[in-house]
Amino acid sequence: MGMMDIGVVAQRSGVPPSTLRYYEEIGLIRSISRHGLRRQFDADVLLKLSLIELGKTAGFSLTEIAGMFGKDGRPDIPRDQLHAKADDLQRQMRDLRVLRDALRHVAECPAPSHLECPTFRKLLKAATRRRVTRPASRASGAKVGTGFA
Amino acid sequence: MGMMDIGVVAQRSGVPPSTLRYYEEIGLIRSISRHGLRRQFDADVLLKLSLIELGKTAGFSLTEIAGMFGKDGRPDIPRDQLHAKADDLQRQMRDLRVLRDALRHVAECPAPSHLECPTFRKLLKAATRRRVTRPASRASGAKVGTGFA
DNA sequence: GTACGACTTCAAGTCGACTTGAGGTCAAGC
DNA sequence: GCTTGACCTCAAGTCGACTTGAAGTCGTAC
């Protein structure tokens, strides 16, 4: 069925072949066979790639992403950790909301320096109390995992 | 008034001195004077730093952040670009929501491989149509800006 | 008045995530 | 049956964002 040449995958996903090779090298995705030398991918790789993109925009490292939807689509990490990550995302969404508001404020407020505008300061202050600071992954070399879905 | 030693800033903000020096080097923050050799910062730097943290979790590069709240707190970039960034954030929040739901689903759904679970696929498919792919900044060397607030 | 500890500079190193380049292979079209 | 172009491998390079290390400078406490 869905056997796609790497070039096709690249074109459809927008992810360059070099990156696809890199992702395969670190175990994030897997090519299913070869046609001559050319890697062939299952159509599912496209879904996997959007998952990866999603994870990246959320600020996760490739290593973390690999963990979340690890070998054969089942996560490497326990339920509660997954929920914890989901909670992280929730918090991050709140930060994003603050930043969005700050940006809109900056675009509209005529104050000379925004750090002096009380509205702006209040905006930030609200975001400032309750700083949690994400642990920042840890996990040195490449070779992220082995399998996938 | 609020003159703080770099060590105090580091301790209160959670940002290490080396990073503060780095930020100053690239023009993201500015020390106001010296006490002997030691940098002294205005208390406002703390607010600036939370702004930077916020921007970072939102996935902006330091260069972009410098642009948004540029020299002396006034943005370097025009209103409509700021609004465009705000719209980016809006989109990103949507992505985050999808990822959060995906994570929660993965944590609960008993399906053997999630890429085969129709619910999961539907979740992703929804996020997949309408891929916009952020331009990814561009701006090589260090030396981000000059002033700040 | 000297020891200490926290700062200083500057160059170099690290880490993640890729990209680039040289040199090679191969299937398809002519 | 040969050319072509898209792929291949592997090593090295790049970029952003810091961190680390060596060697030095200060103000404060004793």
For A10-29, write each residue's pLDDT tens digit: 999 999 999 999 999 999 99
CA B42 centroid distance within chain: 22
Residue that has been written with the tokens 């690239």 in this structure = B26
Question: What is the pLDDT averaged over residues A34-48?
Answer: 96
Q: What are phi and psi of B143, to 5 degrees?
A: 60, 75
- pLDDT confidence of residue B132: 45
- pLDDT confidence of residue A130: 54
Burial label, A145 (beta-carbon count in 10 A; 0-12, 13-18, 19+): middle
User: In A84-118, which positions are buried (b, 16+ CB within 10 angstroms) versus exposed (e)?
Assistant: ebbebbeebbebbebbbbbbbbbbeeeeeebbebe
Question: What is the pLDDT averaged over residues A102-130?
Answer: 83
Residue, of A109 and B71, whose pLDDT is higher: A109
Q: Whole-model pTM?
A: 0.85
DSSP-derived 3-state class of residue B42: strand
DSSP string, A3-49: EEEHHHHHHHH---HHHHHHHHHTTSS---EEETTEEEEETTHHHHH
Instruction: State pLDDT tens for residues B75-127.
Output: 777 888 899 999 999 999 999 999 999 999 988 888 777 888 898 888 888 77
Residue, of A131 and A120, whose pLDDT is higher: A120
Question: Considering only residues 89 to 128 of chain B, which have any Cβ-Cβ distance to chain A shorter than 8 Å?
Answer: 89-90, 92-93, 95-100, 102-104, 106-108, 112-116, 121, 124-125, 127-128
- pLDDT confidence of residue A1: 57
Q: Is residue A98 within 8 Å of A123, Cβ to Cβ?
A: yes
Give the up-direction half-sphere exposure of residue A53: CA atoms within 13 A in the CB hemisphere. Answer: 24
Residues 17-46 of B with CB under 7 A from strand C: 17, 21, 37-39
Instruction: State pLDDT tens for residues A78-104.
Output: 888 899 999 999 999 999 999 999 999
Instruction: State pLDDT tens for residues B1-27.
Output: 579 999 999 999 999 999 999 999 999
Instruction: State pLDDT tens for residues A57-72.
Output: 999 999 999 988 876 6
CB contact under 8 A, B83 and A131: no
Residues of chain A with Cβ-Cβ distance to B14 below 8 Å are 131, 133
CA A107 centroid distance within chain: 28
Residue type, A127: A
**Segment (H or E) for A88:** helix A79-108
Q: Distance, in angstroms, between A142 CA and closest chain B CA?
A: 22
The CA-based diameter of chain A, rounded to the nearest angstrom, is 66
B117 CB neighbour count, 10 Å cutoff: 17
Burial label, A39 (beta-carbon count in 10 A; 0-12, 13-18, 19+): buried
DSSP-derived 3-state class of residue B41: strand
